[in-house]
Structure 1
């Protein structure tokens, strides 16, 4: 017996729309939505009231996968210093976003991106701005009291529509002077913290996850700043760093990627214990890329032709930058996937961050 999804009204996980305008059942419409870029999902909300109710339902929202929706990169011709740029996913390819609608764009620069939001900074006169490039909305922040030496945007689209901006303004011997802006209160608050490590060892590699800002401290520690309680702790890395490292979260746990001349190693922190999750051969990555030149993995790393970019927050997938190509690697299936290319042969391209963020009213409403 054939039964449409719309008639299954007795199930708590069933959904019914009176009409979707093109004769699709809700389950088929959901399957289509899960394969669309984030910007297209926003547009679909305008089709009809029934589509809007369907897309905004929490159960449906949870089913929408994280989509690679943005790339924060630097690009410039020749030997010039690459300019910070942001590209959005459109029809399976990435194109530089036009920020001409921002009145501050031409005399400011992008400093950080977090779950679909961008942090801009203007030096003269000094000012911070937070922008949502998908919705083309932005907000001007009040000025902090101190002069920022480094800043980061902290936003969790799953938990709250509010974001925080952290500015580091001073570096005592074993701590830091910082100011934290909360969009919930609209105020900056100053803090003096003891990180527990020599501040000379702190790097600018930071990652925000579940209310904590993780800061890489060379050669073998991570300083953890709880932005709710404003207290610090230290986590020892599974190995001392000699080359590049990257912090991220996946499946609800903190991860660390360490790459050297031979391989990429993926570690996961559960409790207070690091476990080696995966090893990926650098030479295998270059071979997959089709590079037939006589080039050692060491030379490739030194020339900036291999870089770890991000962990998928939900799946066992990582994203890599390999000789001009943005690609994914499935840690379970051990398979590579090509995503896109950015720039041209005449451009110097450096990918800083990629953004995977879900459809969420927290993303769309945080700058309302």
Structure 2
């Protein structure tokens, strides 16, 4: 009897302590402001954020609120790239953390039996743009974008949801389409856009764009609104910043590179002069601003007999401005002495002053901290990889409603 009484007291005391701890925990949690919770959540990977939506209704609403998505922006997971041969396209993922890919890069959800070749075109805030075709192209820059059998496919690789877009309008006679970009900002809207550029064969300069809106589910064609004739650079990717899609082009007959910007209605067109180098530079969205990095050749004595090479990093401080501001400079020869290889700039880190360079042989991708002049991770690449790398940032939000 005495033992049973002691057992009952123990259970009551344990229950009382648990209730006291629960009340204290609840009261302590109530002291956390939304801003403090968001700051903590911003350090978590995307998959953890999805799980934390189940903590409470208030946390779910806090994470899902479009105005908070920029605060929950995730770090760079790695780069998508692909190799291609007679058997089809093979997709790969180079992780910057050394961990596993956040999804299967072969994307079985895209029904590979429908299209033999699924080439990576662009990536933006967790969504991917692919070009599906049953006809092999000789090279990436020789794609015949007018082929009837190709379609654009937009996919959320984490959820496995995807949508096939209707065919892009045929280009007028003597014109062809050569590059395309994906625009998606979940902090602004759940809709995405595809910008498909158009050039004229004679003289090879841009004449207009076709713009797809997931809100309307249709394409709209717009004539070029530029006075200057700009030729597009096939290997340059598109970057979506504050409602404007940017890519790299060159002014006709001037051998001068420029950034070409177009809004998602095809009404606003602008060009920005960039510092010239022996090769085309790389553009990227980093820390909320448009960045541009390029290799330059500079004399190291008054006689110009000896030349040195450097990499510069520039940024567009004001979105309404047309002037790039120099941010960092690094000596290429010092970088090559660290690794024993020659490189060219291909990507810019979305959250810090770090660039990524691919070796001339195409077998390694190197991370280089421009601010501290330090070499970071060196990623091994598949042999014969296509020299286009898409930075993948895990999206904190679910798939947009337009993909469901």
Q: Which residue of 1 aligns with 2:233?
A: 203
SS at match of 1:243: coil
Q: Is 1:275 the equivalent of 2:325?
A: yes
* Distance (Å, rounded) in 2 between the aligned partners of 1:5 and 1:308: 51
1:265 alignment counterpart: 312
Q: Quick one: which of 349, 357, 360 aligns to 2:393? A: 357
Alignment match, 1:13: 34
- Name the CA distance, whole Å, in 2 between partners of 1:340 and 1:6: 47
Query: Residues 55 and 10 from structure 1, CA distance in 2 versus in 1: closer, same or farther, beyond 3 angstroms?
Result: closer
CA displacement, residues 216-265 of structure 1 (integer Å, 9 cap, x when unaligned): 2222322221224522122122x334213112222332221111462211
Q: Which of 220, 241, 252 is equivalent to 2:288?
A: 252
Which residue of structure 1 aligns with residue 152 of structure 2?
128
- Determine the C-alpha separation between the residues in 2 that align with 1:100 and 1:282: 40
CA distance in 1 between partners of 2:241 and 2:107 (Å) = 28
Partner of 1:34: 43
In structure 2, do the counterparts of structure 1 residues 217 and 57 end up closer, same or farther at CA, with 3 Å as the change threshold? closer
Change in CA separation of 1:166 and 1:288 when aligned onto 2, cut-off 3 Å: same
CA deviation after TM superposition for structure 1 residue 120, in Å: 2.1
**Alpha-carbon distance in 2 for matches of 1:363, 1:88:** 23
Partner of 2:350: 313
The answer to whether the 8 A contact 2:211-2:266 is kept is: no
Match runs of 1:187-198 below 5 Å: 187-198=218-229
Aligned with 1:361: secondary structure?
coil
Q: Which runs of 5+ in 2 are unaligned?
A: 1-23, 135-148, 172-176, 251-255, 298-308
Q: Report matched runs for 1:234-249 at 5 Å.
A: 234-237=271-274, 239-249=275-285
**Which residues in structure 2 correspond to 1:94-133 (within 5 Å)?**
94=101, 97-103=105-111, 104-123=114-133, 125-133=149-157
Residue 67 (str. 1) matches residue 103 (str. 2): no
For 2:56 and 2:314, the matched residues in 1 are separated by: 45
**Structure 2: distance between partners of 1:96 and 1:240:** 38
Provide the C-alpha distance between the structure 1 equivalents of 2:311 and 2:207, rounded to a whole number of angstroms. 32
Name the CA distance, whole Å, in 1 between partners of 2:233 and 2:44: 37
The 5-angstrom pairing of residues 139-218 of structure 1 reads: 139-147=163-171, 148-171=177-200, 175-199=206-230, 201-204=231-234, 205=236, 206-218=238-250
Q: Superposed, which structure 2 residues align to 1:303-342 within 5 Å?
A: 306-322=343-359, 324-338=363-377, 340-342=379-381
**SS of residue paired to 1:224:** strand
Shift of 1:325: 3.7
Q: So what's the TM-score if we normalise by structure 2? A: 0.69
Task: Please give the alpha-carbon distance, in whole angstroms, between the structure 2 residues aligned to 1:258 and 1:91.
Answer: 27
Residue 144 of structure 2 aligns with which residue? Answer: none
The equivalent position to 1:137 in structure 2, one of 128, 137, 161, is: 161
3-state SS, counterpart of residue 194 of structure 1: coil
Q: Using a 3 Å threshold, how does the CA distance of structure 1 residues 123 and 92 change in structure 2: closer, same or farther?
A: closer
CA RMSD of aligned residues (A): 3.7
CA distance in 1, matches of 2:292, 2:316: 8
- What number of residue pairs does the alignment pair up? 333
Displacement after TM superposition at 1:50 (Å): 7.2
TM-score normalised per structure 1:
0.75
Shift of 1:166: 1.5
**Inter-partner Cα distance in structure 2 for 1:45 and 1:61:** 15
Contact 2:115 2:133 in 1 (8 A): no
Q: Which residue of 2 aligns with 1:85?
A: 91
Structure 1 70/134 Cα, relative in aligned 2: closer, same or farther at 3 Å? farther
Q: Is the 8 A contact 2:81 2:120 kept in 1?
A: no
Q: Are the structure 2 counterparts of residues 350 and 98 from structure 1 closer, same or farther at C-alpha, using a change threshold of 3 Å?
A: closer
- Residue 348 (structure 1) aligns with: 384
Q: Which structure has the highest strand share of the two?
A: 1
Structure number with bigger Rg = 2
Name the residue aligned to 2:19: none
Instruction: Give the match's secondary structure for 1:108.
Output: strand
